[in-house]
Chain A
């Protein structure tokens, strides 16, 4: 299992996949600190 507690998380989402806010919510719920997040869009 990946340990996220006290990690600095870079959440790189994508509009056609999983957006960054969803990744952020997951990371923070596991004790990680999100230091960068972006949702890319290639349309």
Chain B
């Protein structure tokens, strides 16, 4: 997650109703998923951006997680996500989300 994006999200979260916010990720790997999830929950792990030391604590999900898939009409999910569901390593991404949540807890 680049520094400009970190700043934009920080301003957004601080300026609106954060209790209603949910982050949905479309990251392609376990590593990128972990990095973004940690940045938006605990703060920037690289300590390079505006979110360094800023634990936003946002609820973060990946669109390949079952609980997200179940929330979306099946025809929409199939059209928008379907092809990539089989290209990306979904099990590794879901595992990374689990580890990120454990670290954030």
Contacts and interface: CB of A to CB of B under 8 A. Distances in A.
Judge: A and B partners, yes or no. yes
Contact of A20 (B1, B16, B26, B58): B26
Interface residues of A, number: 31
B9 A10 contact: yes
Q: In the complex, which range does the number of interface residues on chain B fall in?
A: 35 or more
Contacts of B25: 12-13
Contacts, number: 108
24 contacts: A1-B70, A2-B61, A4-B22, A4-B72, A8-B20, A9-B21, A10-B9, A10-B12, A12-B5, A13-B26, A17-B26, A17-B84, A18-B28, A18-B81, A22-B80, A23-B63, A23-B80, A25-B80, A26-B77, A26-B81, A29-B73, A30-B71, A35-B12, A36-B9
